[in-house]
Amino acid sequence: MSTATAQALQDLATANKLYASATAVLSTSELPAGHAAYFVLATENHASVQSRAQLHAAHALRTSGAHKLDQTSLQIIADLGAEPSVEQLIAAEGHTTMGRTHYRSARAMMHDWLDIPCSTVNDRLVQADCLIGGIDESGAPLPPWLPKLSQQFANPEVDPRLVLATATKLHSVRKDLDDGAAGEAQKEQLESQALQMIDGEPKSARKHIGELVAQVKAGKRPLKALLEEVGLYRRGLRKGLVEYILRVLPSQAAVIEAFFAALANPSTLAGNRDALQDTEAEFTGEQGSGWDDESTKPDWARQDSSSTDPPPDPPDPGDAPADPPAPPAPQADPQPAWEDLKPERRRLIGVMALLMADHSSRTAQDTGTRKGLATGQVSVILDYEKMMAGAEKYAVSSSGFTLAPGEVRAIMCSAGIYPVILNGKSLPLDLGRSQRLFSKAQSRALRAAYRGCSYPGCSMPVERCELDHLDAWEKGGATDINSAALGCPVHHVERHCGLFHAVKIPGCRPMVLLPEALDPEQKLRVNTYFMTPDEAIKADQLADRMTELWRAGELQVEIVGP
């Protein structure tokens, strides 16, 4: 072992000691807000460095044959302790043997010696194969299975954790790829798409990469094969609950997602909380409380305002006058219990409300307006040019599901059609109108085109977003569709507080510029969370192109003030 290698190992041991001592101090101190924020930042930076080191360590363990170390070598390593000297580390170089050893493989050594869970060991070795390289049966080195991601992983400026997760996901489809050159081309395309998503919008990359992998695993299955598996399956009674499995087509899932979105919106009559709580009481016999047991309730929720205890006895005239009672302490208004329920439970109650409703009394005028009965509205966005060219994929629902041509034709036969015209940059056209509030047509077009909050990575669905004037009305701005964006209640307020900026670009959808503290690269960004993977890649490419033109002074943009 070289002295440089021994010194590096000693540095690693010293770093571990310093990190532990620093954590001991910081975890027992009353930290100022700024110090607490830097504590979090430094800890996450350390975790990022550690995740890269863990993979290299697993790779080194395997390629060096460390599982073949003899008993004496293992004892020397165990005796090094937390503060070894350089000389001790040089002496701990170790010897391997061809005889019987404690561990049969690197995988077994990591699990049995270090108590690393088997699943974690397998993930690290797979990631090493993908990003560093593997070894064949003869011990010869193999190149990394994902060479482009390997370069990204080797870049010290890149957080490796997203790259590691991506490598694991892509490796899971290796058996679903075609044989030979076709399979290699599929893998290269997947790898390139994943890289574009990581570079474009890391916050949404995990979601989109998961969708890409799911598409590959699903394959090009005909509609007939899909229809044979759709349905609502009853699994039976488990732990006191009856379980069902629901398998639906993407077009059916879009309707369900729209129903859930309408149900989750408390500002609409369809999402009326009191009516839905009454529905829960109808089939459970208990009013929904929002807490699973008494121990989790706050004090105000435990007080029983309907107590039937008898009033206290009147005071004896001979007693000394009692002190006047202290005024009750002010209490904050409690949040509605319904909002504390898990989303899964709220959705079930909404479905039960739909099933238990007296549909015979509903009229066309009632639809979507009765308390507790949500009615989802699904928008389908079609790429006309792709449709006319006979492309396999040319339509997507407002909730981000890619629809097959047969599903689209069925929807167009039975659904009400709202024409929404988009240009090549997904910008709605010919719906502008100068008035204080956006019209229904403008709202429908914007929600269909943008599908959710404009803040990068925000997962708030479009039904709960607000239309945002980028040309302030009070400053003479027009209610024009080219100057409108969507924002969830949180990010809408944050933009008007100046915490980030919307950016208007001629002939293009508005983008977002985050403060330098959150985005040192200062790129123009688009929220791709509700897009399909293909759409997300195009949107990221558009944002990168606009950023380059803006930096080069070839694009006149308007950074919108609060």
Mean pLDDT, residues 482-506 taken together: 91
Please tell me the predicted confidence (pLDDT) of residue 447: 85
Which of 437, 512, 448 minimizes the C-alpha distance to 480?
A: 437
Please tell me the predicted confidence (pLDDT) of residue 217: 82
- Look at residue 237 and tell me if it is in a domain: no
User: Residue 408 CB: number of other CB atoms within 10 A?
Assistant: 18
Residues 6+ apart with CB under 8 A from 65: 96, 139
Whether pLDDT at 463 is above 90: no
Most confidently modeled of 222-226, 382-386, 553-557?
553-557
> What is the rounded CA–CA span in Å between residue 475 and residue 473?
5
Q: How large a percentage of the chain has pLDDT more than 70?
A: 77
> What is the rounded CA–CA span in Å between residue 455 and residue 531?
14
Whether pLDDT at 143 is above 80: yes
Mean pLDDT, residues 9-38 taken together: 92
Question: Which pLDDT tens digit goes with each residue over 420-445?
Answer: 545 444 444 333 434 567 777 778 88
Please tell me the predicted confidence (pLDDT) of residue 390: 79
Mean pLDDT, residues 94-122 taken together: 90
Mean pLDDT, residues 59-67 taken together: 93
Please tell me the predicted confidence (pLDDT) of residue 373: 59
Please tell me the predicted confidence (pLDDT) of residue 375: 60
Please tell me the predicted confidence (pLDDT) of residue 363: 52
> What is the rounded CA–CA span in Å between residue 308 and residue 95?
81
Contact 441, 419 (CB under 8 A): no
Please tell me the predicted confidence (pLDDT) of residue 372: 53
Residue 71 tokens read as 């008993």
Whether pLDDT at 472 is above 90: no
- Of the residues 123, 155, 171, which one is the last residue of a structural domain? 171
Mean pLDDT, residues 491-501 taken together: 93
Give the structural domain span for 166: 3-171
More confident residue, 359 or 204: 204
Return the residue matching tokens 């599908």. Answer: 451
> What is the rounded CA–CA span in Å between residue 401 and residue 233?
22
- Look at residue 453 and tell me if it is in a domain: yes
Please tell me the predicted confidence (pLDDT) of residue 345: 81
- Look at residue 314 and tell me if it is in a domain: no
- Look at residue 99 and tell me if it is in a domain: yes
Residue 251 tokens read as 């077009």
Contact 153, 164 (CB under 8 A): yes
Which of 165, 220, 154, 174 minimizes the C-alpha distance to 197?
A: 165
Q: What does residue 340 show for φ and ψ, rounded to 5 degrees?
A: -90, -10
Residue 247 tokens read as 């398998």
Please tell me the predicted confidence (pLDDT) of residue 552: 92
Residues 6+ apart with CB under 8 A from 331: 300
Coil, helix or strand for 468? strand
Which of 338, 351, 333, 331 minimizes the C-alpha distance to 291?
A: 338
Which of 456, 457, 454, 475 minimizes the C-alpha distance to 465?
A: 454
Contact 500, 517 (CB under 8 A): no
Is 86 exposed, middle or buried, given 0-12, 13-18 or 19+ CB atoms closer than 10 A? middle
> What is the rounded CA–CA span in Å between residue 224 and residue 404?
12
User: Residue 406 CB: number of other CB atoms within 10 A?
Assistant: 15
Beta-bridge mates of residue 69: 96
Helices (H), 264-367: 273-284, 299-302, 337-340, 343-356
- Look at residue 165 and tell me if it is in a domain: yes
Lowest mean pLDDT among 139-153, 219-233, 369-383: 369-383
CA distances from 513 to 332, 502, 505, 560 (A): 37, 6, 12, 10
Q: Identify the band that residue 129 occupies on the pLDDT scale cut at 50, 70 and 90.
A: very high
User: Residue 51 CB: number of other CB atoms within 10 A?
Assistant: 16
Residues 6+ apart with CB under 8 A from 148: 188, 191, 192, 195
**Domains held by the chain: number:** 2
User: Residue 514 CB: number of other CB atoms within 10 A?
Assistant: 18
> What is the rounded CA–CA span in Å between residue 78 and residue 92?
10
- Of the residues 171, 194, 212, which one is the last residue of a structural domain? 171
Q: What does residue 486 show for φ and ψ, rounded to 5 degrees?
A: -115, 140
Please tell me the predicted confidence (pLDDT) of residue 369: 47
- Look at residue 49 and tell me if it is in a domain: yes
User: Residue 216 CB: number of other CB atoms within 10 A?
Assistant: 18
Question: Which pLDDT tens digit goes with each residue over 184-196?
Answer: 999 999 999 999 9
- Look at residue 548 and tell me if it is in a domain: yes
β pairing state of 402-403 and 466-469 = unpaired
- Of the residues 120, 145, 171, which one is the last residue of a structural domain? 171
Which of 432, 431, 438, 434 minimizes the C-alpha distance to 478?
A: 434
Which of 56, 12, 62 minimizes the C-alpha distance to 153?
A: 56
In the chain, the N- to C-terminal Cα span, in Å, equals 61
Mean pLDDT of all residues in the chain? Answer: 80
Please tell me the predicted confidence (pLDDT) of residue 374: 59
> What is the rounded CA–CA span in Å between residue 460 and residue 454?
10
Residues 6+ apart with CB under 8 A from 349: 276, 277, 279, 280, 288
Please tell me the predicted confidence (pLDDT) of residue 364: 43
Which of 510, 477, 453, 433 minimizes the C-alpha distance to 441?
A: 433
- Look at residue 138 and tell me if it is in a domain: yes
Whether pLDDT at 361 is above 80: no
Lowest mean pLDDT among 198-212, 438-452, 501-515: 438-452
Q: Identify the band that residue 316 occupies on the pLDDT scale cut at 50, 70 and 90.
A: very low
Contact 454, 502 (CB under 8 A): yes
Please tell me the predicted confidence (pLDDT) of residue 168: 95
Within 73-185, strands assigned E span: 134-135, 141-142
Whether pLDDT at 162 is above 90: yes
User: Residue 228 CB: number of other CB atoms within 10 A?
Assistant: 10
Mean pLDDT, residues 25-32 taken together: 88
Which of 548, 270, 255 minimizes the C-alpha distance to 411?
A: 255
Beta-bridge mates of residue 501: 513
Question: Which pLDDT tens digit goes with each residue over 326-359?
Answer: 555 444 444 445 556 677 887 887 887 777 666 6
More confident residue, 371 or 114: 114
Q: What does residue 123 show for φ and ψ, rounded to 5 degrees?
A: -60, -45
